[in-house]
Structure 1
């Protein structure tokens, strides 16, 4: 293999790696940012459900179960799907406690 061929081969490999990095890095950053936003929503929903629980005197076992599930999902962490599931559980628990408080 001549030096010219080796230089062209290495140059092509460098360009291929640079193209991959240029496409992969922004997507990874966006995925991480989206997951952080989802987890922020989940933590807010859990806190809102805890406030509703503390504000009512009614015992709502289903809401307690949903809140425990949301807390468990938050403790385990995970991606956006786990955060959305935790948000849904906490939101439903909040709704149940609000309905119990209203009458």
Structure 2
């Protein structure tokens, strides 16, 4: 299977989708650019997924790894396919078990 999708991370929250598109379009035609946003604030989370029309373009765009953008080194890697067998992530709790309603010890 061809892999044309890149993960691009560690960019400043101030970077726009247009800026990312301009930076990476010099390597080839971008068919999809998904900037990941925080659900609560609506602001960018500092990473995106970029899909190129051609695998060669995606491979060439890997050269941006480590490039400074707004004072931060970009992290550019081939995107990993999500493992469908993992299923949805459980929510809440943070692994601490919850409960107790914040009460201290009883004396």
TM-score (ref. length: structure 1): 0.30
User: Which structure shows the higher helix fraction?
Assistant: 1
Highest CA radius of gyration, 1 or 2? 1
TM-score (ref. length: structure 2): 0.29
